[in-house]
Structure 1
Amino acid sequence: MTLIRHGHRGQAVRQLQQQLNRAGAELYVDGHFGDATEAAVRAYQRRVGLVADGIAGPKTLATLAGTGNARLLHHNMLLAVAQRLNVELAAIYAVNEVESAGQGFLANGKPAILFERHIMYRQLCTPRSNEDDAAALQAYADELAALHPNLVNPRPGGYAGGTAEHQRLAHARLLDDTCALESASWGAFQIMGFHWQRLGYASVQAFVAEMEAGENQQFDAFARFIETDPALLKALQGKRCATFAKLYNGPAYQRNLYDVKLERAYQRHAEAAIEAAA
């Protein structure tokens, strides 16, 4: 994934500066991504409605090149969520930057997903009404696991990545549509489908339709995930990065430096907001 950001130097930065100048900036084209270039990137992003993070990633570069951005995450969505959750906008920007998988869609236009075969097994075993026989459900899941171990399995694995994950999902949907959709993580924030009811969707199919619609809908699902977890919401409101990272990412958060990345991103966005207001 191409990311051009503060501190970078080289031909890619020169090309970016030239594109920004064609879009109305007045940069000295020196191939150095300094404060002036970051400010110009933010100004351009704000003008076209993108998330104004000051980083020239695939979305900003594509928009500069003339590609439409209707399905991309917009600044107004982050602003609305910040107000809705009563969280500082800089903190929302930081969470979006660190916790997002990058782009919510693959090059072929399909949403980014990861199919989890062990979740498929679990969902097939889960009774959904008082009439369901748990033993019979497990026996059926075991039968499918024997026939299709790459799609139904008590153990995780079998990942293919990218567009091939959609092929796995399509095959799993032939076994059980609802369980299959519940067993994939969706969009830029990789929200698991089985959360659909907690997040307030009418069905997992309705949830998936929203994930297919655009990154703004994907971010709305992420916001619902936070606001339906009081501890997670409180940590974000208090800007307690380590607590938020632990709750959202699990015990491995320290090894992956999620808390450090969140704190640094927050400081950068907070400082940029102060500068923009000055």
Structure 2
Amino acid sequence: MLKLGSHGAAVRTLQALLKADGARIAVDGWFGPATLAAVRDAQRRYGLVIDGIAGPKTLAALQSDHRTPRHLSALDLEHAAQDLGVPLAAVRAVNEVESRGTGFLPDDRPVILYERHIMHRRLKARGVQPDTLAALVARHPDLINPQRGGYLGGTAEHARLTAASRIHPDAAIESCSWGLFQIMGWHWQALGYASPQRWAELMSTTEGYQLRAFVAFVQADPALHAALRELRWATFARLYNGPDYRANLYDVRLARAYARYALEGDMPIAAPPSSTTPATA
């Protein structure tokens, strides 16, 4: 992910692509204001999210001369802001800080993280008897376990999902976080999806569907929704990321990203209450 202040060979490659795309910039390996402006111009032309950060989606658009349809668009964020009744800058901030940058792996499968401790819970919730569950834990400790762990990352998480699906396909889907915003599959019913399989199908289709899942997730939690509407970033980060949110400065990063987008002239679609202001630390 290349952004303002980045430097080196990867920036030179980006600048060469931007120059071939028509930007009038130097290929000097420094991501300065001119490169930032060129990245934003390219993102605007290709219909990408305009954040000035050159990640894999921006590079892919520059290399192929078009936006991959499954990638998130600026219009997707506008629709999300309208549905949530929040400033567009707030949705852009959440997308920057809380998303994984891309919802798909290089092989076009969705980004997932399989959670073996959630698989243990979901099997129990689905009525698997204690003795049977204990036997499954003993046989497949990396797939079913009361404790977190066993993560492999990347494409290997799909191998874990495939293996878990042989044990219980629905519980396996429910035991993964999916896409840009890492929404757990076990929320499928509360968020209005017809089945775990339908959830997985849509999360595998486009980042736009992954964003819709995030919108539904926020709307389903009145406290989380209110925190986002009122720009109470510490509360939003705590409810979304858990009590350890301060360790990664989620609230600070969200507030700073929101302030930056708002200062860029990103006017709210729906103004927040006048009594609230974004946190600064």
Q: TM-score, normalised by structure 1?
A: 0.90
Question: Structure 2 vs 1, CA of residues 214 and 274 (structure 1 numbering), >3 Å: closer, same or farther?
Answer: closer
CA–CA separation in structure 1 for the residues paired with 2:120 and 2:138 = 11
Change beyond 3 A, Cα 1:12–1:114: closer
Alignment of 1:125-274 (within 5 A): 125-127=124-126, 137-273=129-265
Structure 1's 230 and 65: CA in aligned 2 closer, same or farther, altered over 3 A? same
Match of 1:131 in 2: none
Deviation at 1:97, TM superposition (A): 0.5
Does the 8 Å contact 2:174/2:184 carry over to 1?
yes
Whether 1:26 aligns to 2:18 is no
Alpha-carbon contact 2:89-2:266 (below 8 Å) kept: no
Separation in structure 2 between the aligned mates of residue 178 and residue 31 of structure 1, nearest angstrom: 48
Report if aligned partners of 1:90, 1:273 keep a CA contact under 8 Å in 2: no
The alpha-carbon deviation at position 39 of structure 1 amounts to 2.2
Offset of residue 140 of structure 1: 2.3
Greater Cα shift, 27-36 or 104-113 = 27-36
Work out the CA distance in 2 between the residues paired with 1:19 and 1:217: 29
Q: Is the 8 A contact 1:126 1:137 kept in 2?
A: no
Answer whether contact 2:88 2:266 (CA < 8 A) is retained: no
Unaligned runs of 5+ in 2: 268-281
Q: Call closer, same or farther: CA 1:150–1:17 in 2, change over 3 Å.
A: closer
Task: Give the secondary-structure state (helix, strand or coil) at the position aligned to 1:261.
Answer: helix
Mind listing any 5+ residue stretches in structure 1 that lack a counterpart? 128-133
Which structure shows the bigger proportion of residues in helix conformation? 1
Q: Call closer, same or farther: CA 1:148–1:8 in 2, change over 3 Å.
A: closer
Q: Give the fraction of aligned pairs with identical amino acids, expressed as a percent.
A: 53
Q: How far off its partner does 1:200 sit? A: 0.6
Match of 1:55 among 48, 53, 71: 53
List per-residue Cα deviations over 1:184-218 (Å, max 9, x = no partner).
Answer: 11112111110001111001110000011011111
TM normalised by structure 2 equals: 0.89
Shift of 1:274: 5.3
Alignment RMSD, CA only? 1.8
